[in-house]
Chains A and B, each alone.
Chain A
Amino acid sequence: MVAPPTTAEATVDQRDLVEQARKGDHDAFAALAGAAIVRLDAAARLILRDRELARDAVQDAMMRAWRDLPGLRDPEKFDAWLHRLTVHACIDAARHRRRRPIEVELTVLDAPSVADASSQIIDRELLDRGLRALEPEWRAVVVLHYYLGMPLPEVAGTLGIPLGTAKSRLHRSIGVLRSTVGIGPATDSALVTEGRLA
């Protein structure tokens, strides 16, 4: 298992690569993309819960990153910018997906009613169910904060939502996830309408 990634300050090496890539050095971009691809692919799959959509979203984000990199003002913000492009591509993909019926089943979850206090790792299958029970925009808040390690103000900025909205979404999402894995009550209002025709 790898440690959760963080949004640490860009290193000097990364800054140099960004500067080179901004000038059209595709090898430098490949190095930057290679360092980010696993993280972005994982984040996209967590948000979208769909491997194919996640691939499309990451491809979109990478294409935009390469094309628009010369316009990035601050090389230090490359990681945050790439995260933003990816999350927005994910949300766009999710919005398109809503136009067709989807296959996620939202039956009453048969999760245990009481958490196993000795458990160190949250049950993977139950966590997956919990994530699927959230709107993609809500999943994005969870993924940005808990997977990519962004502080909430940065999450709000990335998603273009007020900080209060980010806090509220995170709070309610955690409530749903807790409920799904058997810790604490559910927050029904956060459940999505997936499974129906939008």
Chain B
Amino acid sequence: MTPIDRFERDLPIALTDLAEEPTPDYFIDILGQTARSRQRPAWATPGRWFSTMPAITSRPALAIVAIAIVAILGGAFIFSRSTQSAGGPTSSATPAPTATPYQSPLPMPSDLVGGWLAPLRDSPIAQGPVSALEFGALNGDPKAPDFAISGTAAADVRETSPGVIELTSTGALGGCHTGDVAHYRWSISTDGVWLTLDPIDDPCKIRAAMVPGTWIRSGSHDSHGGPLVAARFEPFFSFTLPSGVWLGGGGAGVMTADDGSATFKVWQDPDGFNDYCNDAMGTKVLERGVDPFLKFLREDSGLDVSNERETTIDGHRAVVVDIVGKPATPPPCWTNPDTGEKNMILQWTQHADVGWKWATMIGGMSWPIVITEVDGHTLVFEDIKGGNTLDQSILDSIHFLHALPAPPAS
């Protein structure tokens, strides 16, 4: 036996010796996290669009287009029917804790959890087309900060007395320091749509300049349903989710919401693959609009496209079409060898310097997607409930907006 043979023979044992340790002490933490998290139903995850890899490639960020316009436009009408009292957001405040289906208590009132939007404020930490606050996550995701402003200025949150929250900075930020403690009075309109935060004290000036005021609930974050706004699309749009526990997410031009039995997903201006079997062949840039996207789907040799029918979304022409990856798609073209997905669309957006690729299930039942065109942008929706059934109710609640709705008049 040569020394080389001995080396390779001994390597497995040497690696085991190098790595050998007892059960890691974080195992219990993992089980605690998984116990608090919901599984995604089999039909909901890989069975449809599947985000196979965030940020697969970078490309130069285009200028952020700040389109928040301080104006009261017709787009706000859905929210004018809010149950908010005429006395202003705070006058009807009811910071009533809401039960969540998770075993571990949240560190803050669950009514607060989710995202909140307001017109873009003049601040070095303001990003994107609107200002955004984030409070925790409904599924107890340990990676979600208790509080953040557009992904920064993270702080721990606790409710010190009914209607008062305490923010404790967990990092330094523009003259603010870890451990800075602030207090805000919070209230939410009875319909859960509007959050008002009034400062009591906040030594962190950059945060104090951003947080106070009235915010509208974001559709790109966790929520208990109800009227929401999606503001990382052009144009913005409002929509209403049925009452429930919705785990939401997304970024520029993409949004997902899932309550375990229904999914609502949106993509703006998707592109395609030149070769769905080979990412390296690059992006097939698609002309915007319903018909060019339908043409792309029909020409995708790995996709079955059927049952096209016309509909409308907020008065705009839309087409519903059923899709599924062809069962004969060979494994070398599978994006995921476990679940057999194939590349479907690539997405770049002007608000991001990263891309997402989405794959779709091969074989099985087809499911409907809805394609529309608004202001020169392609929008692709999935609004599914109970298997593969199109649930038009969320789509029917959509209203396109050119600015965030204004808070109800006081």
Contacts and interface: CB of A to CB of B under 8 A. Distances in A.
A170 B402 CA distance: 55
A181 B16 contact: no
Interface in A42-60: 42-43, 45-46, 55, 58-59
B46 A37 contact: no
B19 interface: yes
A70 B41 contact: yes
A33 interface: yes
A133 interface: no
B34 A26 contact: yes
Looking at chain A, what size class is its interface with the partner chain?
A: 35 or more
Contacts of A70: 39-42, 45
Interface in A11-48: 22, 24, 26, 29-30, 33-34, 37-38, 41-43, 45-46
Contacts of B71: none
A30 B33 CA distance: 11
Contact of B7 (A3, A142, A181): A181
Given A63-B34, A146-B12, A157 B6 contact: no
Contacts of A33: 27, 30-31, 34
Contacts of B70: none
B280 to A, nearest CB: 12
Contacts of A121: 10, 13-14, 17
A77 interface: yes
A109 interface: no
Interface string B288-301: 00000000000000
A149 B11 CA distance: 11
A46 B23 contact: no
Interface stretch (A99-107, A122-130, A189-197): A122-130
A69 interface: yes
Interface string B24-46: 10110111011101111110011
A89 interface: no
B21 interface: yes
A110 interface: no
A167 to B, nearest CB: 14
Contacts of B27: 33-34, 37
A46 B19 contact: yes
Nearest to B33: A63
Interface stretch (B107-115, B223-231, B263-271, B334-342): B334-342
A71 B339 contact: yes
B312 to A, nearest CB: 33
Nearest to A74: B338
B338 A122 contact: no
Contacts of B42: 22, 70-71
Interface string A115-158: 10100111010011001000000000011001101000000010
A42 B22 CA distance: 10
Nearest to B35: A26
A24 B41 CA distance: 9
Looking at chain B, what size class is its interface with the partner chain?
A: 35 or more
A149 to B, nearest CB: 7
B45 A42 contact: no
B338 A73 contact: yes
Nearest to B45: A71
B58 to A, nearest CB: 12
B18 interface: yes
Contacts of A178: 4, 7
A117 B17 contact: no
Contacts of A72: 338-339
Given A4-B16, A66-B39, A58 B24 contact: yes
Contacts of A34: 23, 27
B281 interface: no
Given A115-B3, A117-B3, A117-B6, A30 B24 contact: no
A174 interface: yes
A127 B7 CA distance: 11
A177 interface: yes
B15 A4 contact: yes
A35 to B, nearest CB: 11
Nearest to B10: A122
A41 B21 contact: yes
Nearest to A117: B3
A186 interface: no
Interface in A63-84: 63, 66-74, 77, 81, 84
B45 A41 contact: no
Given A33-B30, A68-B45, 11 more contacts: A3-B16, A4-B13, A58-B30, A67-B39, A70-B41, A70-B42, A120-B6, A127-B15, A128-B18, A178-B7, A181-B7
Interface of B: 3-4, 6-8, 10-24, 26-27, 29-31, 33-35, 37-42, 45-47, 337-340
26 contacts: A1-B16, A3-B16, A34-B23, A37-B24, A38-B23, A41-B21, A41-B24, A42-B20, A43-B19, A58-B26, A59-B26, A62-B34, A70-B40, A70-B41, A71-B40, A72-B338, A74-B338, A81-B338, A115-B3, A115-B7, A117-B3, A122-B11, A146-B8, A174-B11, A178-B7, A183-B3
Interface of A: 1-4, 22, 24, 26, 29-30, 33-34, 37-38, 41-43, 45-46, 55, 58-59, 62-63, 66-74, 77, 81, 84, 115, 117, 120-122, 124, 127-128, 131, 142-143, 146-147, 149, 157, 174, 177-178, 181, 183-184
